[in-house]
Structure 1
């Protein structure tokens, strides 16, 4: 490929070290260099090649110095320049010589300096010992070259000729440090005029490069002629002048570009100053522009300003900081058309931005991109360096702002619903703003991978479509050639061979462009997507991570700007709970829809997954462009019934991943059955575009979310009595618990009460068969004794806990993050194991609970009766857990009948103490698991109870805990009444204390409720201490003061040892857990 012009970043003589002031100064210099690369690129000077002219380090023997140099400079530099190691040319300097290696051959090096003639040098080069000398001297340098996958010479070759066809240039790299001892004081510190180099090798290099077809020939070596002995230096310079067009040199720490001439010709010598030399005031680098066919050059030197920590144009060199070797060079570069930045900024404002908003401005919720955008956590992984010593899983955090400000290429990898499309649309908008407001020229061209046509210049056509009328301002090919276009492509698919190859070919043709791709992660391969691309471009791989609690909180605060902290906590808890109930990944896509649903239902945040998925479906299926709406008679109801039909076909066949043709056949069958004439392929393609279906890594199609399959199956159950009967068949229905839960929550469903009765009757039968309920005696909880329960011990435990610092917002979020991390977000169809009686009993109970929660139309008396039956079953489960406490204490993790119990405690915690803690925890943990199936505002009235009623105390306490978890207004008043009934019942009063204490520790509650909780705890302790009213009154005042003081001073105390004990319960069907810290 012929190249009109390209840019070289020329740096040399960094002398990198960890030590002293130099090491600290170099960090600042490197930081400034990396920052200036961004400025160069935005100014149209993106480097196409990096030449490093030697003396990379100060001391090649310094441990780990080359590794740290790579990490500090070369890795980020290549990334900033969007280059690979193949675009890095490096030669060694005298400081890259290991002095220990040179000293092993000290006698040889003394002869180099003081005895060798040209003939001696020529003879020695071909002797066997020569390679051994070089190998010992360049051990660490060779490793550095391999680490960076760079082109170089070292111990293996004295020179190498490299052709880079894309730059129309051949490069000769020569090891001029061949005879250097690295300034070893016991050999020769000052090597000026003492080095040797075999002239025949320089001549051979010139002959080899003459054989290439490249129009431009470049020589790269560290030392200028003056450092060689006269009889070596003279022929060295002659061969360079005769055989090469340009000579890049370092070593002298001066920026002095000049032309060297003889009777046989001339050669441009690019002599660049040291990147860092703390003994002289001038440090810098150069950008060299080359037109290889015309052999025209422009050198732009930059110098470092120490007190400003930045590089500036070296105006003292050349013409306003630009050196032209001749007037002809100056005329050539001045005549090249310049990019009109003002015209581009105007075009973006007037043309590109309106076009972009019309094409990409819509969002799922109807809000603007800026309003709906919430940044996901992101991590980077370098994919450029192939050396196996680099850990491939090395990751660092990166932010949206950093990516926008950067010039690097990115491959953004994330699962479905992680907001990849929204992310790159928001990024494109930000790049436009920067062009208009910050004079930064990089035009974003955003399009889908499928927009690339398979014939002709597919990528170029897609860019023109994404950037309309740009040719009226600047020729598009010129913008691409100069690297001023950011090509942003959504959903790259390597399996699409034709499009993928067209894209790879385009990156080869325009390696200066910036590329940002999104793709789905490909299982079964460790190779990043971009491994397939040409070496001319490099990518930084970005992994989009699930939203953490902090991100969900930020989303909520952005959406509801006036929320109080306690209300925000409850909202975040509800969002996390609802997402987990619906098996949705915690992504910006999911959270944004959920928040929109909350807004649309008048901020009733206690919604269930049926409401959520219903609204999801409405947003997706009703989101039509105006032209599509006008043409469409296949309306929302048609789409709903069509998808329900497809869901039935999948469920009956047990096949949930289908080929496109099989899926199309189902759509065609539905359209045929109802007598429509709509084109089935257009309808199916629209479903895919609307994210109702998605393509899997194997190329098959499935519902985008598992919840969609369950929801549309429920809809089909309401349309088709036959399918309803098939699902509800007694031997089958527990395999479809989620579908039935959705069915019970559908609005205007007239059969939901009968379904609930069927579920209840079957549950009673399953429980009766298991015989567990008949063995349970709820009254036994009134007489349970706690281990090591001494007078006042419970109050002492409470005060000790309250002295422990309350969890900070970050700590509370971290706890929820840990639970989110355990959540199963697989989108495979949920088909639980129903073989064991325990599994059947648990599935039946959770189905019964969720069905009652989701029902809209049920009389209060009926709800009360069902809830009583359900609560009885949950307490039976808790009784079973009591029997398992010895096993939980022994094994620290135990699973039975669908619930997993885990404890995390240091060895210092005795088994007796852990047993006591588990006993106190179980009612609280059980209520939290129950809440995931029953927790809804619609059942608050049913949970309320008469504290003086005849229900067993354990049932009352479970009702109270559910009301506390739902944070109803009156739960503290009920707790105050209950504490009187628990007087003398040590276990129940202890469990109540545990729950109240946990609420204070782990939740953000209103101050007035916290005050009431403290008063209840003090009252319970006082009444336990005496039966005398006067003594109780005194004890109450004293203990209330103690508790209040504990709250005041807890942030001044270190966390107690008991803080490290954590107990959790989780149910795998929903993976909802509760944990308490004691």
Structure 2
């Protein structure tokens, strides 16, 4: 590795390096005065504020805390705190990459509800008349005289305060709240200086000179401070707004106990180093972040503190309306910076550029990138794939767009390059085997290749979540060991402390409490760094709720999606040299992957393209056959060498691979050493009495990409799907091994293997009966534990408020044109090989309680029903009904938590905290309705993935005498699956379903919503939709309510809209075809 000794390090004027625990950065914002009528004006300033924070707050200037020191709203309850949070505070958290647990708010005089004050006006008058008497104020405090007025006048404020920063609060009384942030060893004391304020209620006079905080309240709070902590005290008002007695006492306590005093109110920034008899403190008065008077100052402050040395730098940021930007506050102070001493000025100027950025960038783009590529090449990651075959996938950022009519903005496309050029911390999630590791490696490469162009260059280091073990010290060692940079030129610890590193953590499992605790501690230690995690979707975002990371930094959620036709075309071009064959192969990929219900991913595309190269007439039946043909192609079954009987032929090779897969499974070791694998191969061939050159055979497996080498002389199957297929094959070859897999405490962890097995044999009625009996037992156990009755689903009545727009949304989806051709190329979800070009981890679901059993058992059982096509038709009908029962139970249990989830917005389930992304201002009723209405459609997508096959067409469409006694939700599932499969019976199925569901408004509306979403995604044939549009129109009219005569008119209007829209759609498609 080339050395570079002339690159500068942190070498401060006092000769000591800065440690992470020394530095603290506080973003101080104040006086927003959210006003509903001035929202548009405020949004202009907010946009400039967020842009300034994003560009300013990098490196050591990334905030550890955000303090908003009062007057968030102008006049509650008209101007609500919830809306102010949505429009300002939450976007500010995002811009600063900080979590809500690290944002704190202070009550100001404009946060007071004047109507509430009027109800307690006499008390306020009495308090203000005696507010200069500490004795009388203390007595009132002891008598709890302030509580009624406090909870009344600050009701809106307190609701928001409770929503934020709950985890760090250690004490609170009417006047004071104490928060302790352990990772920063910092106490934050918030004083409610507005308790005696009347909020400008007419006839009550001004607050100045009449405010007071009782001594006893202050003493109670100070007693809760952590010894040796750094202390930040905050008020809304400056001390000169207090009574003489109140100001004198609070001033002494601030000087004695605080390191930093933050306040607002005056709309004019100022800073000072105050030294008095009782101690010293740095004070900072923030300007107003918005004011209605154009001639008044608008600004905020960013305060950087070295807690050990006591050096403070305040960056004053002023808004310049003529340019529409925030910039250095040179209109208030030289250079827009305040230092609390000349030494502090020298210190912070020395710290401004501790690393030679140009040389850092050069080393990243040169030596580090070259070493990374060499490392990949040594591991075989660039063999016939790797980077040269990388196609950027679709990324959807889950975002809340609070500034546009309080709507949630889902699936916002995110450019792939933003993963390496952006500043946000990201959790990238997807179903199993969508290539997340590949994505992280590409991000790592792009960080290095594009280092010269990055505004914030960082050293990317990638680790696996499973490598996090023992403690924080061990994790730090792991991170250091992965650094490829010249440590004599750039010390890894220094880069960590300055935030000049991006840590990429693969396969994060948020339910792993021990590892997550270590990871959180690392992030708390190095919050200035950037973090990108990958995770399974069911760990990061089940049921639409997103895990709360409970870290001091904010994370954005990005979903890794299937490829669209455009991206798959690029993959085909990379693998198929003849340009004339690209479109032909692309069409076949699209058609055949869709027919076998697999997602349109690079994994499946690569497998099928490989198969096409060997067999142009291949027609897949199920996923087992896809993998079988892939293995057939890669092992060259048809090669001339196979006809020589003395050669270890294809049949022998697949039998050996099946044996090795079973051996790995029984030993629970899927990455054995080369020697142990070779030893097991020797035992196998010796038992057969064959002589085989094992090293040559292993070399063939590596070349065929069946197996691959790993670090530390280990080996594994290259694709997990291939390993699972061979485990399934070994189940066919060995009854002993099959029975081992089917043991009751194990079989639920072998979902994919059992699905492959069913796809290969297709007629194992005995196995099907065993799994069915066990599944019935799981259902009975779940029903007994939860007292959930799926029959009650049909009786659900969703609230419909005057402002409810659900039917309008459905009509819009039904009337609007389906997505364009480029947007219609998404395939159905399904289980696919994960990380096709990268590492393959074996996935064994953890079965911890009955709920886990139900979910895992449901997917296992449904997949077996789907693949066991050669069992008796009557038995298939029985099994299908059992599947409906299981899916009904899942839907019922999901609906059971809707009310609580909508109310709390957060729920801890199985030890993991999940959060619903919805505007704070959205009512619980509206949110609950939206969740409940979407759940049945979400469940039907799972059903289509796990159970959907045209081979069940007769069981789905032919009448059954027992159907009349079935729960209505079965009919909903059945008709939805018929529609998802686009069977010819779709129109009749939908019409019959509407008739049967007529007595259930919930299931009727859910079916309309299902059709509307299918229409929007162009997942229902146009002829099928035209055939049912009269029935859909009638149902929408009926759900809307009204008199019979009005219903008929509404139905006629809907049908006419559908007719016109159909004509427009035909014209549009004719235009596209041309």
| TM-score over 0.5 for the pair | yes
After TM superposition, list the pairs within 5 Å mapping 1:506-521 onto structure 2: 506-521=522-537
Q: C-alpha displacement at 1:10, in angstroms? A: 0.9
Q: Deviations over 1:875-915 (max 9, x none)?
A: 9999999998999999896799x996642479999999xxx
Secondary structure of 1:287 counterpart: strand
- 2:41 maps to 1:25: yes
C-alpha distance in 1 between matches for 2:952 and 2:460: 59
Q: CA RMSD in A?
A: 5.9
Q: Deviations over 1:1036-1070 (max 9, x none)?
A: xxxxxxxxxxxxxx99982349999xxxxxxxxxx
- 2:204 maps to 1:187: yes
Instruction: Say which of 186, 207, 217 aligns to 1:169.
Output: 186
Instruction: Say which of 567, 579, 596 aligns to 2:593.
Output: 579
Range that drifts further, 257-266 or 898-907: 898-907
Q: C-alpha displacement at 1:306, in angstroms? A: 2.8
After TM superposition, list the pairs within 5 Å mapping 1:327-366 onto structure 2: 327-336=342-351, 338-360=354-376, 366=384
Instruction: Say which of 872, 894, 898 aligns to 1:836.
Output: 872
Identify the residue that residue 241 of structure 2 maps to in structure 1: 227
After TM superposition, list the pairs within 5 Å mapping 1:409-420 onto structure 2: 409-420=425-436
After TM superposition, list the pairs within 5 Å mapping 1:313-332 onto structure 2: 313-332=328-347
Aligned CA distance change for structure 1 residues 567 and 179 (closer, same or farther; 3 Å)? same
Q: Deviations over 1:533-590 (max 9, x none)?
A: 66434434444344456765676688889989x985x655422333245564432332
C-alpha distance in 2 between matches for 1:813 and 1:888: 40
Q: C-alpha displacement at 1:707, in angstroms? A: 7.1
Q: Deviations over 1:191-215 (max 9, x none)?
A: 233323334544555x537x63225
Q: C-alpha displacement at 1:134, in angstroms? A: 0.7
Instruction: Say which of 257, 275, 282 aligns to 1:243.
Output: 257
Aligned CA distance change for structure 1 residues 638 and 350 (closer, same or farther; 3 Å)? farther
Q: Deviations over 1:922-942 (max 9, x none)?
A: xxxxxxxxxxxxxxxxxxxxx
Aligned CA distance change for structure 1 residues 702 and 434 (closer, same or farther; 3 Å)? closer
Q: Is the 8 A contact 1:378 1:397 kept in 2?
A: yes
Instruction: Say which of 271, 281, 286 aligns to 1:272.
Output: 286
Instruction: Say which of 458, 470, 482 aligns to 1:466.
Output: 482
Q: Which structure: larger Rg?
A: 1
Instruction: Say which of 48, 68, 90 aligns to 2:105.
Output: 90
C-alpha distance in 2 between matches for 1:619 and 1:447: 34
- 2:269 maps to 1:255: yes
C-alpha distance in 1 between matches for 2:534 and 2:265: 44
Aligned CA distance change for structure 1 residues 518 and 1058 (closer, same or farther; 3 Å)? closer
Q: C-alpha displacement at 1:741, in angstroms? A: 9.2
Q: C-alpha displacement at 1:40, in angstroms? A: 2.8
Identify the residue that residue 1065 of structure 1 maps to in structure 2: none
After TM superposition, list the pairs within 5 Å mapping 1:694-773 onto structure 2: none
Aligned CA distance change for structure 1 residues 904 and 38 (closer, same or farther; 3 Å)? farther
Higher relative contact order (CA 8 A, sep 6+): 2
- 2:75 maps to 1:59: yes
C-alpha distance in 1 between matches for 2:717 and 2:573: 34
C-alpha distance in 2 between matches for 1:879 and 1:233: 84
What is the aligned residue count? 787
Secondary structure of 1:375 counterpart: coil
C-alpha distance in 1 between matches for 2:824 and 2:411: 22
Instruction: Say which of 143, 146, 157 aligns to 1:141.
Output: 157
Q: C-alpha displacement at 1:439, in angstroms? A: 2.9
- 2:484 maps to 1:482: no
Q: C-alpha displacement at 1:375, in angstroms? A: 1.7
Q: C-alpha displacement at 1:331, in angstroms? A: 2.6
Identify the residue that residue 13 of structure 1 maps to in structure 2: 31
Q: C-alpha displacement at 1:303, in angstroms? A: 1.8
Identify the residue that residue 628 of structure 1 maps to in structure 2: none
Aligned CA distance change for structure 1 residues 36 and 605 (closer, same or farther; 3 Å)? farther
Aligned CA distance change for structure 1 residues 594 and 62 (closer, same or farther; 3 Å)? farther
Q: Deviations over 1:476-511 (max 9, x none)?
A: 222212222111011235687876554344334323
Q: Deviations over 1:159-178 (max 9, x none)?
A: 13333343243332111111
C-alpha distance in 2 between matches for 1:330 and 1:715: 72
Q: Is the 8 A contact 2:175 2:213 kept in 1?
A: no
Aligned CA distance change for structure 1 residues 123 and 398 (closer, same or farther; 3 Å)? farther
After TM superposition, list the pairs within 5 Å mapping 1:817-836 onto structure 2: 817=826, 831-832=867-868, 834-836=870-872
Q: Is the 8 A contact 2:599 2:829 kept in 1?
A: no
Q: C-alpha displacement at 1:357, in angstroms? A: 2.5
Q: C-alpha displacement at 1:425, in angstroms? A: 2.0
Q: C-alpha displacement at 1:247, in angstroms? A: 1.0
Identify the residue that residue 1066 of structure 1 maps to in structure 2: none
Identify the residue that residue 897 of structure 2 maps to in structure 1: none
C-alpha distance in 2 between matches for 1:610 and 1:526: 28
Q: C-alpha displacement at 1:672, in angstroms? A: 0.5
Secondary structure of 1:411 counterpart: strand
Q: Is the 8 A contact 2:109 2:194 kept in 1?
A: yes
C-alpha distance in 1 between matches for 2:630 and 2:462: 26
C-alpha distance in 2 between matches for 1:175 and 1:737: 62
Aligned CA distance change for structure 1 residues 297 and 132 (closer, same or farther; 3 Å)? same
Aligned CA distance change for structure 1 residues 574 and 839 (closer, same or farther; 3 Å)? farther
C-alpha distance in 1 between matches for 2:171 and 2:515: 41
Instruction: Say which of 48, 52, 77 aligns to 2:64.
Output: 48
After TM superposition, list the pairs within 5 Å mapping 1:616-695 onto structure 2: 616-617=630-631, 640-646=654-660, 660=668, 670-675=681-686
Range that drifts further, 325-334 or 810-819: 810-819
C-alpha distance in 2 between matches for 1:543 and 1:536: 22
Identify the residue that residue 955 of structure 1 maps to in structure 2: none
Identify the residue that residue 4 of structure 1 maps to in structure 2: 22
Aligned CA distance change for structure 1 residues 423 and 660 (closer, same or farther; 3 Å)? same
After TM superposition, list the pairs within 5 Å mapping 1:408-557 onto structure 2: 408-433=424-449, 435-452=451-468, 457-493=473-509, 502-522=518-538, 535-547=551-563, 552=568
Identify the residue that residue 903 of structure 1 maps to in structure 2: 986
Identify the residue that residue 932 of structure 2 maps to in structure 1: none
Aligned CA distance change for structure 1 residues 468 and 404 (closer, same or farther; 3 Å)? closer
Q: Is the 8 A contact 1:38 1:406 kept in 2?
A: no
Aligned CA distance change for structure 1 residues 839 and 611 (closer, same or farther; 3 Å)? closer
Q: Is the 8 A contact 2:610 2:630 kept in 1?
A: no
Identify the residue that residue 176 of structure 2 maps to in structure 1: 159
Aligned CA distance change for structure 1 residues 683 and 583 (closer, same or farther; 3 Å)? farther
Aligned CA distance change for structure 1 residues 742 and 479 (closer, same or farther; 3 Å)? same
Aligned CA distance change for structure 1 residues 562 and 663 (closer, same or farther; 3 Å)? closer
C-alpha distance in 2 between matches for 1:53 and 1:557: 58
Aligned CA distance change for structure 1 residues 903 and 531 (closer, same or farther; 3 Å)? closer
Q: Deviations over 1:1004-1047 (max 9, x none)?
A: xxxxxxxxxxxxxxxxxxxxxxxxxxxxxxxxxxxxxxxxxxxx
Q: Is the 8 A contact 1:642 1:667 kept in 2?
A: no
C-alpha distance in 1 between matches for 2:213 and 2:512: 53
Q: Is the 8 A contact 1:300 1:313 kept in 2?
A: yes
TM-score normalised by structure 1 residue count: 0.61
C-alpha distance in 1 between matches for 2:314 and 2:487: 30
Q: C-alpha displacement at 1:398, in angstroms? A: 5.2
C-alpha distance in 2 between matches for 1:370 and 1:503: 33
Q: Is the 8 A contact 1:257 1:323 kept in 2?
A: yes
Instruction: Say which of 392, 399, 423 aligns to 1:374.
Output: 392
Secondary structure of 2:1060 counterpart: coil
Q: C-alpha displacement at 1:438, in angstroms? A: 2.8
Q: Is the 8 A contact 1:43 1:441 kept in 2?
A: no
Q: Is the 8 A contact 1:174 1:221 kept in 2?
A: yes
Instruction: Say which of 80, 83, 86 aligns to 1:68.
Output: 83
Q: Deviations over 1:641-696 (max 9, x none)?
A: 5323357x69xxxxx9756159989996543021499999x989x99x979799xx
Secondary structure of 2:190 counterpart: strand
Q: C-alpha displacement at 1:405, in angstroms? A: 4.7
Q: C-alpha displacement at 1:45, in angstroms? A: 1.2
Q: Is the 8 A contact 2:594 2:828 kept in 1?
A: no
